[in-house]
Structure 1
Amino acid sequence: MAATVSLAGFAPASTADRGAVTQPAGGILTAPTRIAHTTAGDIGYREAGTGSPILLIAGHNATMDTWSPAFVDALAAHHQVVVFDNAGVGASAPVSPPTSISAMADRTGALINTLRLHRPTVLGWSMGGMVAQALAVRHPAQVGRLVLAATQAGTGASLPVPPAAAAAADSPDPAVVLSVLFPPDQLAAARSYGASLLQYPNRYGVPAATRADQDTAMAQWMAGQDPAGRDPRRIHVPTLIADGTLDALDPTANDHLLQDSLRDARLRLFPDAGHAFLFQDATAFVPAIEAFTHHDR
């Protein structure tokens, strides 16, 4: 349930932020937005780096500008990293109604085909992790490995997002949104993340109609009403599940449930970290992804 918000007024944190990673000049911030003309509709995307491909799927109410630039560039040091906008966001055309997690997964699969990515590692954050799971079920030949960050299984057994946390994530106040993405004692990490997003030029948001469609799609997934989510055992690729131990939007019981539901999954929990753990603890999470993508290769 990651959110894209206006972050004016946030200043960079000190260099003591434990999630700080070295960011090269240029990188994803200077990558042009391109349009992939897929069989499932146009998709706006950007890419950085070279090497084995990693596809990043953003969460609810998020654009491709929601990824910390330093996080993307750290991955791009050894990989071709592709970020894109979900259906109905930015330059990406909406899917034919009704919108569902499976429909978004089909659109993602069309992007993989169009860009000729060969069995990429697919990293999905929050709602993006639901899409990643559906992609691995519906298009298994397109996925090499999965990284599921702060997300839930679609079996109907996952604990729901606490209502107060859900309301905070949808707040128009960026300070409120950041407060639910990071633990209270990680203000420096929250400010650093907020400031990093201000570096993107020409920032834009998610239309209200698209947010509503995403809400419905996630609710169906969580209730076990999306066929792609009901049987996680159909996912055969190695999977890394990761989250913060203090995730206010996704209780860690869901991470354990997801691990138990999959054939080949390992779990990594980051202490004193929340829903945005992947940016707060980038210096640990990026090497974990690196080790995972190269295991048994």
Structure 2
Amino acid sequence: MPHASINGLNLYFERAGEGPPLLFISGTGGDLRVQPNVFASPLARAFDLVAYDQRGLGRTDKPDVPYSMAQYADDAAALMDHVGWDEALVLGVSFGGMVAQELVLRHPGKVKRLVLACTSPGGAGGASYPFHEIEHLKGEARARHMIPISDVRRDAAWAAAHPAEYEKLVELSAADPFAGEPGRDQGAHRQLEARAAHDTWDRLPQIACPVLIAAGRHDGIALPETQEKMASRIPGAELQWFEGGHLFMIQDRTAYPAMIAFLKG
């Protein structure tokens, strides 16, 4: 199992595929052990793809100390150095999009083209849903709370009209095969602390590389109005909408091809 010793961490990563180098940065709670993961997506057939478990998550170290968004960004930059990439394409999803914003701002020469998917800038531009406020919700209770937020079409009326589909979503969303693992709760908590402090709004005009903001029309986590604000703040940024909620990439089959086309220029 490949680990990189960077920034005082043993950081777990995986690499597969051929093509232009692409760094994928995952969202809140991202863990490469959860299948299917990004290596089952079209990205692995289009790029030399690297993805990793961020600090506090998965098979990466989980020090129980405060984390910062700057540290997450520096971890990404150091992983690129470890695999021998001076620069790469970058795709950040949700929390990973927040990390990607910090990465391109702190290490602008390392990011050739950037996709920010279902994410937010924080500050005056708007924050994503405050997961730190529902940290006490676990399992099925959390799943039932988040389903109508992740995709605002899945409200109480939808759940009543589609009971079997709704209960299957609850089952899938509530599952955590690694619950109780040493350090897991502490690492997740530290990630949420850093996420709550995310704010790149005032610095977004400094981003100089080509940027695509990819968003779901029905996302209640990274709100549509926030995507529009972010697109107006980043010079030359493109905004593309997809038919889905926060997980639009698996709801709209046009999403991956569109993002791949942008990344390949």
State the alpha-carbon separation in 1 of the partners of residues 166 and 241 from structure 2: 17
Contact 1:181/1:248 (CA < 8 Å) preserved in 2?
yes
Q: Given that residues 62 and 184 in structure 2 are in contact (C-alpha distance below 8 angstroms), is that contact kept between their aligned partners in structure 1?
A: no
Aligned to 1:153: 121
Give me the whole-angstrom Cα distance separating, in 1, the residues matched to 2:130 and 2:117: 21
1:278 aligns with 2:245: no
Mapped partners of 1:190, 1:81: distance in 2: 34
Q: Which residue of the partner structure matches residue 24 of structure 1? A: none
Query: Equivalent residue of 1:240, what SS?
Result: strand
- Percent of paired sites with the same residue: 28
Task: Please report how far the alpha carbon of residue 204 of structure 1 lies from its aligned counterpart in structure 2 after TM superposition.
Answer: 3.1
Q: How well do the aligned residues superpose, as a CA RMSD in angstroms?
A: 3.4
Cα pair 2:87 2:111 within 8 Å, conserved: yes
Deviating beyond 2 angstroms after TM superposition, the runs of 4 or more aligned structure 1 residues are 37-41, 64-73, 93-98, 158-171, 174-183, 185-192, 202-206
Distance 2:78 2:135 in 1: 33
Task: Give SS of 2:11's match.
Answer: strand
The superposition leaves residues 214-244 of structure 1 with CA deviations (integer Å, 9 ceiling, x where unpaired) of 22212211xx4xxx55311221111110111
Alignment of 1:1-297 (within 5 A): 33-65=1-33, 68-69=36-37, 72-94=40-62, 97-154=65-122, 156-161=123-128, 167=134, 171-173=138-140, 175-176=143-144, 177-182=146-151, 183-184=153-154, 204=178, 207-221=184-198, 224=199, 230-271=202-243, 273-281=244-252, 283-295=253-265
Instruction: Give yes or no for contact 2:132–2:193 (8 Å, CA) kept in 1.
Output: no
Query: What's the secondary structure of 1:147's corresponding residue?
Result: strand
Structure 1 gaps of 5+ residues are 1-32
Could you tell me which runs of 5 or more consecutive residues in structure 2 were left unpaired when the two chains were aligned: none
> Against the structure 1 CA distance between its residues 45 and 217, is the aligned structure 2 distance closer, same or farther, given a 3 Å change threshold?
same
Q: Are residues 203 and 158 of structure 1, via their aligned partners in 2, closer, same or farther at CA, if it must alter by over 3 Å?
A: same
Higher relative contact order (CA 8 A, sep 6+): 1
Q: Deviations over 1:160-197 (max 9, x none)?
A: 445699749954127524554344269869969x87xx
Instruction: Give the alignment's TM-score, normalised by structure 1.
Output: 0.73
Change in Cα spacing, 1:65 to 1:270, as seen in structure 2 (3 Å) is farther
CA offsets 1:53-97 (integer angstroms, 9 cap, x no match) = 211111112213457447743111121111110102122124684
Going from structure 1 to structure 2, the CA distance change for 1:241 and 1:249 (only over 3 Å counts) comes to same
SS at match of 1:152: coil
Aligned residue for 1:64, secondary structure, equals coil
| 1:291 CA displacement | 1.2
Equivalent in the alignment of 1:13: none
Matched-pair contact (CA < 8 Å) for 1:166–1:249: no
Cα distance, 1:41 vs structure 2: 2.3
